[in-house]
Structure 1
Amino acid sequence: MPKLLCTCNNILNLQDIPCKVQYNFISDVDYDKYHDNINAEELYQEMKIFVECDKCGRLWFFWNGFDEEPLEYLPVSKQI
């Protein structure tokens, strides 16, 4: 998936390396499986990915890799 069209109609380019809108993360439980010397490629394979729209702030989570459609999360303003 080289590009993602956000709901706000902003095109997110995922081809750039490094990609300025892509973030990789891993759960605490999954990270605890690694000890001592960590193989960076193995760790990377375990990570989930989200993309942040640089126009509206929506987050697009790829929970199961790029083969499945991402889930969209919309920021909610705090009401004080």
Structure 2
Amino acid sequence: MPKMLCRCGKVVGLGEIPSSNQWMIISDTMITDEDWDDNGLNMSDFYKKMDIVVKCPECKRLYIYSKGFGNEPEVYNLEE
């Protein structure tokens, strides 16, 4: 079962599909006017453009995998 260790020490499970710990994001600039005008919009095309984000359920830290899981993520920690 896929999982990752958060910097806070929490093991974050990613094996459940859909996963409440995995999010997908896309920049507004990746969506064109043609996309909005296309009535046959295919979500799988957008899915391929999206970055994978893992959110730790314990500390709320975000790991953004913009280059895929095989590369180091950008890491953001919640300010208090």
Which bin holds the TM-score, normalised by the shorter protein?
0.7 to 0.9
Identity score, percent: 36
Aligned to 2:62: 59
What stretches of structure 1 move > 6 A for 4+ residues in a row? none
Q: Across the two proteins, how many residue pairs are aligned to each other?
A: 77
Q: Any unmatched runs of 5+ in structure 1?
A: none
Q: Any unmatched runs of 5+ in structure 2?
A: none
Q: Structure 2: how far apart are the matches of 1:20 and 1:75?
A: 18
Matched, 1:34 2:35: yes
Matched, 1:43 2:46: yes
- How far is the alpha carbon of 1:19 from its aligned partner? 0.5
Aligned to 1:9: 9
If the length of structure 2 is used for normalisation, what is the TM-score? Answer: 0.85
CA RMSD for the aligned pairs? 1.6
Q: Deviations over 1:46-79 (max 9, x none)?
A: 11111110001111110111121212111112xx
